[in-house]
A and B are shown apart, each in its own frame.
Chain A
Amino acid sequence: MSAATEAAAIPITVDFSGGLEMLFDNQRRHSVSLPAVDASGKPATIAFLIDHLCRTLMKDPRAELFVLDNHIRPGILVLINDADWELEGEEAYEIQPRDNILFVSTLHGG
């Protein structure tokens, strides 16, 4: 891996809603500079982003409220540019510059 690609970062915005913001310093929008490739040199995907957020952005130690068994926990929707990630390839979606990724917890109260 060359020094240039190692340093390359993708600018994106990451939003949290439905109570998940609580795990990220009560802030609903974060500007994130995501490394363009993961440790093995593969392009950054949603799976990589989730791991990156857990390592760098999460202030609350209750990681199990966000990930379970290395996957996003049940009851959280992931939206890529306002579309359900299932329409975009889920964890394998390769992140593009200026993407907006929204994590929203399913609500049940009423």
Chain B
Amino acid sequence: MGEASINGEPAAAKAAPNGCSRRLTDDEFDRYSRQMIVPGMGKEGQLRLINSRVLIIGAGGLGCPAAQYIAGAGVGTIGIIDGDVVETSNLHRQVGHATARIGMKKVDSLITHLRGLNPLPTYVSHPFHINPQNAAEVISQYDLVMDCTDNPVTRYLISDICVLVCKPLVSAAAIQKSGQLTVLNCPPTPQGLVDGKYAPCYRCCFRKPPPPSSMVSCGEAGIMGSVVGLMGVAQAGEAIKILASALHIPSPPAAGDTPERNLQQPTLLIYTYDLESAVGPYSFRALKMGGRKRNCFACGENSTLTLAGIRAGEPDYVQFCSVPTSSVSLPPEERITAAAYHAAKQKGELPEHILLDTREKEHFSFGSIEGAVNVPFGKLLMKAAAIKRDVSPASEILPLESEKTDVPIFVVCRRGLDSQETVEKLKELGLDNGGKRRIVDIMGGMKAWKEEVDPTFPFI
């Protein structure tokens, strides 16, 4: 990090060991008065926050709301790490940015916002993505880490580093209408200690990542701003609680205190709601999790995980999170580019055909190729399974005709993967009439359509 990215006095002055007994300045006294009078907080808790250093990894949907409350509460040093720039589609949830700052580095945009809210903390900008080579150096500069990232590769990396450099980790995640939050490695305990009750790390709770095929990003599946915002705010709340009560300080093994002293019941908070109905079975749920696992890959008794290893590429996080998938690869004669489809249609060279669009109905509702019929991929698979089970005619899967069994079928989806699987599935059901009927994938989906044919197409 460069000197220029630090505002105000040198960080060392703020982290002075006797800082816990100093007088508050008039500005601090006014600014933090409402939270200092809350039972349990007091001047002591406030000074602990002022003397603390928090690293927020990711300046997005979790990081923005989290950072606002971390800054507002007066945490003394706030580091933010993210390599992205602000985009318009971020703004419905990433409320620390602004329309006027689209195109700016997210870290700089967020720090601009936070300075306006509270100029007292030292803000440290790390305008790059965290990776195995830089993670330990950045994380070691802080007392507590907030995982506000959006992918499992980074989540496992962050947790492993936190175990090795003994930092508590407040982790949250959200997608569509669901969110999760959990406090890990708190109080921090050296790797390998297993006799006694210790807090779990990310790997203790989530031993293996889900297969990539089951994972979608907020960009693909969507996310409600309030859901991810709520999780980010809750993350800030947990971080403030830990710092104000000094739970982030590792208890020395030789001290009289047992580690259990500060051990909270490991908990996973989940939040879910329905947009479609007002009454669901629950919104918030606190789930009881286990503690540190003896055989944990990262923090367990025989762990071989080291900082040097991580820097050198061991373990391989990308490999760990991407079990090979069996992707369909269709022969060239079963595929057509979006541009070629469009050109043939314009010239009247395309015969009468069925055009299936397998995107979700929400995506379809914004626009589609003329004549397209919407059969969402999940529904299509369910129909296909029902046809196999009940031995009903395969043509039932097609929305329109069933008479003309030779009419070609074209399939388009969002980005060109589901459509290929659909082609395979339709052939499997015998809808290609033993090869007499053409079933064709439109390559690259509606994304390619926008790029090659219609730049004004409202692609989400």
Q: For B208, give its contact among A29, A74, A83 (CB under 8 Å).
A: A74
User: B288's contact among A68, A87, A109, by CB below 8 Å, is which?
Assistant: A87
- Encode contact with B along A5-40: 1 for CB under 8 Å, 0 otherwise: 000000000010111001000001100000000000
**Contacting pair B209 A74 (CB below 8 A):** yes
Q: Is A107 an interface residue (CB 8 A)?
A: yes
Question: Does residue B444 face the partner (Cβ distance < 8 Å to A)?
Answer: no
Contact at A61–B385, with CB atoms within 8 Å? yes
The reply to whether B281 and A107 contact each other, CB–CB distance below 8 Å, is: no
Contacts of B281 in A (CB 8 A): 15, 28-29
A73 to B391, CA, bound (A): 29
Instruction: Using known A-B contacts A15-B281, A73-B211, determine if residue A107 contacts B206 with beta carbons closer than 8 Å.
Output: no
A47 interface residue (CB < 8 Å to B): no
Chain A residues closer than 8 Å to B175, beta-carbon distance: 18-19, 107-109
| Closest chain B CB from A88 CB (angstroms) | 10
Q: Is B378 an interface residue (CB 8 A)?
A: yes
Q: Using a CB-CB cutoff of 8 Å, which residues 139-178 of chain B contact chain A?
A: 147-152, 155, 172-176, 178
Question: Is A45 on the interface with B (CB-CB < 8 A)?
Answer: no
Q: Give B273 Cβ to nearest chain A Cβ, in Å.
A: 10
Nearest chain A residue, comparing its CB with the CB of B207:
A74
B179 close to A (CB within 8 Å): yes
In the complex, are the beta carbons of B290 and A106 less than 8 A apart?
Answer: no
State the Cβ distance, A103 to closest chain B Cβ, in Å.
12
A110:B149 contact, CB within 8 angstroms: yes
Q: How far is the CA of A3 from the CA of B7 in the complex (A)?
A: 78
Among B155, B178, B205, B206, the one with the most A-chain Cβ atoms within 10 Å of its Cβ is B178
Which one of B179, B209, B287 lies within 8 Å of A102 (CB-CB)? B287
With a cutoff of 8 Å between Cβ atoms, the chain B residues found around residue A75 in the complex are 206, 208-211, 214-215
With A107-B179, A107-B180 given, is the CB distance from A76 to B210 under 8 Å? Answer: yes
Contacts of B453 in A (CB 8 A): none
Identify which of B174, B214, B285, B286 contacts A105 (C-beta below 8 A).
Answer: B214
Report how far A77 CA is from B178 CA in the complex, Å: 15
Asked if B150 and A108 sit within 8 Å, CB to CB, the answer is: yes
Chain A residues whose CB sits within 8 angstroms of the CB of B172 once the complex forms: 110
Q: Does B223 contact A (CB under 8 A)?
A: yes
How many whole Å from A14's CB to the nearest CB in chain B? 11
Listed residue (A84, A105, A109) with the most chain B CB atoms within 10 angstroms of its CB: A109
| Interface presence of B225 (CB below 8 A) | no
A102 proximity list for chain B (CB < 8 A): 285, 287
**Assembled-state Cα–Cα distance A97/B61 (Å):** 41
Q: Specify which chain B residues have a CB less than 8 angstroms from the CB of A106 in the assembled complex.
A: 173, 180, 206, 209-210
- Asked whether A61 and B384 contact (CB < 8 A) given A18-B270, A29-B281, A77-B268, the answer is yes
Give the residues in chain A near B58, CB-CB below 8 Å. Answer: 110
Which residues of chain A are near B215, meaning CB under 8 Å? 75, 108
How distant is A98 from chain B, measured CB to nearest CB, in Å?
A: 15
B150 and A110 contact, CB distance less than 8 A: yes
- Cα–Cα distance between A64 and B234 once the two chains are bound (Å): 33
| Residues of A close to B179: CB separation below 8 A | 107
- The reply to whether B214 and A83 contact each other, CB–CB distance below 8 Å, is no
Query: CA separation between A77 and B141, bound complex, in Å?
Result: 33
Check if B460 is an interface residue, CB within 8 A of chain A: no
Contact B384 A108 (CB under 8 A): no
> Are A84's CB and B290's CB within 8 A?
yes
**Neighbouring B residues of A50 by C-beta, 8 Å:** none
CA distance A108 to B218 in the complex (A): 9
Smallest Cβ distance from A54 to chain B, in angstroms?
12
**Contact status B150-A60, CB under 8 Å:** no
Closest 7 CB pairs of A and B: A75-B210, A61-B385, A74-B208, A109-B175, A107-B173, A29-B281, A83-B288
Q: List 9 A-B contacts (CB under 8 A).
A: A60-B382, A77-B268, A83-B287, A107-B174, A108-B150, A109-B221, A110-B149, A110-B150, A110-B231
Q: Knowing that A18-B178, A19-B178, A64-B211 are A-B contacts, what are 6 other residue pairs whose CB atoms are under 8 Å apart, sorted by A's residue number?
A: A77-B206, A102-B285, A105-B210, A108-B152, A108-B209, A109-B228
Partner-A contacts on B (CB < 8 A): 58, 60-63, 147-152, 155, 172-176, 178-180, 205-211, 213-218, 221, 223, 228, 231, 268, 270, 272, 274, 280-282, 285-290, 378, 381-382, 384-385
